[in-house]
Amino acid sequence: MIRRFVFGTMIETEAILQKPSACMDSLPYLKCSEESLSFSYEMGETDRIYGLGENVRGINKRGWIYESKCSDEPEHLEDRRSLYGAHNFLIVDGRETFGIFIDYPGILTFDIGYTRHDQMTITPSDWNLDLYLIEGDSLRDIVRQFRHLIGRSYIAPRWALGYGQCRWSYMSADEVREVVKNHRDLHIPLDMVYLDIDYMERYKDFTVNEETFPNLDKLVEELKEEHIRLVPIIDAGVKQEEGYSVYEEGMKKGYFCKREDGTPFVAAVWPGKSMLPDMLNKEARDWFGSQYQFLLDKGIEGFWNDMNEPAIFYTEDRLKEVIEEIGTFRGQNLDLDKYFYFTGLVQGLHNNRDYYKQFYHNIDGRQIRHDRVHNLYGYQMTRAAGEAFERLVPDKRILMFSRASYIGMHRYGGIWMGDNKSWWSHILLNLKMLPSLNMCGFLYTGADLGGFGSDTTEDLLLRWMALGIFTPLMRNHAARDTRRQEVYRFENIDGFRHLIGLRYRLLPYLYSEYMKAVLRYDCMFRPLAFDYPADPHAAQVEDQLMLGEELMIAPVCQPNADGRYVYLPETMKLIRFKENGSIEEEILDAGHHYVKVALTDVVLFLRPDHLLPLSQGGQYAEEIDFEQLSYLSYVKTKAVYEYYHDDGCSRDYENPAHLSTIIIDTEGNVTIE
Ligand code: GLC
């Protein structure tokens, strides 16, 4: 059951397409205080809180204060309160079990046992919001109801579940060719190479640097022959430059965000001084979306949208003030306070909160200050693209994922988890965000494998890959000035080939589970507690996940480990994929086990009366035969699997012909119905 409670008059987010009528009953579970502008809930000692999508800390979010504020935050440390997304959905699970969604485009905080251990307090910046309360038969049922409410998640083309290689940046067409050649020569499967900001002409959206990437359309064609797709980045900021058509047209039509007095708001990003398209204005959004045509025409079939929190390096005015103020420090003796103030002047230029109070959106003729709708910017940028693809290429699935997001954006694209680091703790953070993001509708997702910032190491990348082979978005990406981390740069190429190769063997299962999760409004990755609600140990597990209907995964997230402890909520079959191609199977009883996992082993756990379909593998997604399958199974009486299989590119998703049932009996006989 879903009830909608209305407080004040919210600014429309379109997170929900068909709103239930407002409930007039008094709000259950939560205490609502208009004086302190907050909702609070007394948590029981063992209550757990799930959700909040992309954020730091645990699967159980209790014990910290989170801020819903899309942030350009490359330091994913435990003390941060927000990352790039604003996902205001959570589930309380304990004495009482219910879900809450706060549909509110401004900044709000979720204090979940931070100030007081037994109290959760939700504080918006003003009192204009819709609050949804969702009750259901189980945690999964609550998620499903919520997901129905917010609409079906974006569906990626199947090739986008292949492996992708990225770096900030491959500087020329030849460098891209070399990346492709190295993968192909060494038989390391690959489907995508990403183009970061340097493919553009001086970081101008919808341009191509003709010197370093001459005839991009030819390159796209040439690489398609090798079954490789190029996926360029698009940034939110549009360079301010006379003669640059996107800038000139946007200015002429009044499509950029403005200051209160109507003058242009100039903010700097990669190209220096830039304009922010008013993504919240329908006309401007349509206009920005239609710009993607430039690259679609060159044969591009996928994009990633970046810097759309929006990230702002500085504003013209603030930079001027800071430079002047710094001048006044000349010759001074800087004591403690002065020194920190001085260094803070420059540090405070980047993404200063004040900037968000200095520009306005034109939403249906109303001027709305950005901070009131901050969390919608990346969402609406990605919607601009998604709606344009519907118009421009209605028969095709286009790959799209974004950095910033709000619930609602999940209908238009996926997300990646932003600028993580080559840290062991970030493998675990990647794992923990998966179920939380799935709850909020983001199914096409994954992290920068190997870590974006800092220098990676071979063992870190191998262990991270052993998780990444399960995530729909599987991309190796690193920042400039870091150690190069294409897998062929390392010694153990056989190990990487084995891991990535296994991803392609798993594709029939992963794609089937991804599609079923989308079409059934379900989670592909779930905390153990969702599947074993009566098991108190399962609720404690923060480093294992259920993956689809058949499997549990338990990746190794520690350096120098020869294995790890794994908790089995029931008897399962351990399946070990070894680098030499052999597959070992062993039945393990419910309970705790130390499981050895060599650096290039992949270990997974199959539930009783379940099965895992495997392909023969291939060098790219289109080479995979999704019909010639082999099976691993754990049959006690009968294993039954519902297999989703379509052509991976057209859009008749719901066609029942895409589903078949695979049955394996105790004798090992396979029947497909
Ligand atoms: C941002 C993105 C990162 C990208 C870089 C340069 O930091 O998050 O993925 O490589 O910008 O475009």
pLDDT tens for each residue of 404-424: 999 999 999 999 999 999 999
Distance 607 CA to ligand 1 centre (A): 39
Nearest-angstrom CA–CA distance, 653 and 337: 61
Out of 165, 166, 196, 351, mutate this one to test ligand 1's pocket (max ligand atoms within 8 Å of CB): namely 196
Closest residue by Cα to atom 3, ligand 1, is 419
Nearest-angstrom CA–CA distance, 579 and 502: 10
Q: In angstroms, how far apart are the furthest CA atoms of the chain?
A: 87
Distance 360 CA to ligand 1 centre (A): 26
pLDDT of residue 119: 98
Supply the angle between the helices 336-347 and 316-327 in degrees, to the nearest 10.
Answer: 150
Across residues 508-529, what is the average pLDDT? 98
Distance 402 CA to ligand 1 centre (A): 11
Nearest-angstrom CA–CA distance, 618 and 441: 30
Out of 73, 195, 269, 306, mutate this one to test ligand 1's pocket (max ligand atoms within 8 Å of CB): namely 306
Out of 419, 448, 473, 485, mutate this one to test ligand 1's pocket (max ligand atoms within 8 Å of CB): namely 419
Q: What is the end-to-end Cα distance of the chain in Å, rounded? A: 35
pLDDT of residue 137: 97
Amino acid at 152: R
Across residues 530-544, what is the average pLDDT? 97
Nearest-angstrom CA–CA distance, 242 and 120: 52
CB-based contacts of 664, cutoff 8 Å, min separation 6: 611, 631, 633, 635, 638, 639, 670, 671
Distance 203 CA to ligand 1 centre (A): 12
In the chain, what percentage of residues exceed pLDDT 90? 99
In this predicted structure, the answer to whether residue 556 has a pLDDT above a threshold of 80 is yes
In this predicted structure, the answer to whether residue 34 has a pLDDT above a threshold of 80 is no
Give yes or no for a contact between 585 and 575, defined as CB atoms under 8 angstroms apart: yes
pLDDT of residue 670: 98
pLDDT of residue 145: 98
Nearest-angstrom CA–CA distance, 331 and 325: 13
Distance 421 CA to ligand 1 centre (A): 12
* pLDDT band for position 640 (cuts 50, 70, 90): very high
In this predicted structure, the answer to whether residue 349 has a pLDDT above a threshold of 90 is yes
CB neighbours of residue 327 within 10 Å? 8
* pLDDT band for position 35 (cuts 50, 70, 90): confident
Distance 233 CA to ligand 1 centre (A): 9
Closest residue by Cα to atom 5, ligand 1, is 168
- Of ligand 1's atoms, which has the minimum distance to the CA of residue 307? 1
Full-model pTM: 0.98
- Of ligand 1's atoms, which has the minimum distance to the CA of residue 480? 10
Give yes or no for a contact between 67 and 81, defined as CB atoms under 8 angstroms apart: yes
Cis? peptide before 124, omega within 30° of 0: no
Residues with CB under 6 A from ligand 1: 168, 196-197, 233, 306, 403, 418-419
pLDDT for 611-624, tens place per residue?
999 999 999 999 99
Q: How far is CA 498 from the centre of its chain?
A: 25
Distance 529 CA to ligand 1 centre (A): 35
Distance 168 CA to ligand 1 centre (A): 7
In this predicted structure, the answer to whether residue 188 has a pLDDT above a threshold of 80 is yes
- Of ligand 1's atoms, which has the minimum distance to the CA of residue 419? 8
* pLDDT band for position 25 (cuts 50, 70, 90): very high
* pLDDT band for position 379 (cuts 50, 70, 90): very high
**Which of 343, 344, 270 lies closest to 310, judged by CA?**
270
The C-alpha angle 643, 17, 378, rounded to 5 degrees, equals: 85
pLDDT of residue 535: 98
pLDDT of residue 338: 95
* pLDDT band for position 33 (cuts 50, 70, 90): confident
Distance 469 CA to ligand 1 centre (A): 22
In this predicted structure, the answer to whether residue 36 has a pLDDT above a threshold of 90 is no
pLDDT for 465-502, tens place per residue?
999 999 999 999 999 999 999 999 999 999 999 999 99
- Of ligand 1's atoms, which has the minimum distance to the CA of residue 166? 10
- Of ligand 1's atoms, which has the minimum distance to the CA of residue 167? 10
Worst-scoring range by mean pLDDT, 21-25, 31-35, 210-214, 581-585? Answer: 31-35
Distance 14 CA to ligand 1 centre (A): 28
Across residues 342-351, what is the average pLDDT? 95
